[in-house]
Amino acid sequence: MDVKIEQEWKAQLSSEFEEEYFRLLTDFVREEYSRNTVYPAGRNIFKAFERCPFGSVKVVILGQDPYHEPEQAHGLCFSVREGVPFPPSLVNIFKEVESDTGAPFPQSGDLTRWADQGVLLLNATLTVRARQAGSHQNKGWERFTDAVVRRLDAGRDNIVYILWGAYAGRKGDFINRQRNLVLTSAHPSPLSSYRGFFGNKHFSRANDYLIACGKTPINW
- Angle, vertex CA 206, rays to CA 203 and CA 210, nearest 5: 140
Distance CA 113, CA 205 (A): 19
Catalytic residues: 65
List, as one string, the DSSP characters of 69-123.
STTT-SSSTT---TTPPPPHHHHHHHHHHHHHH-PPPPS---THHHHTTTEEEEE
- In three-state secondary structure terms, 134 is coil
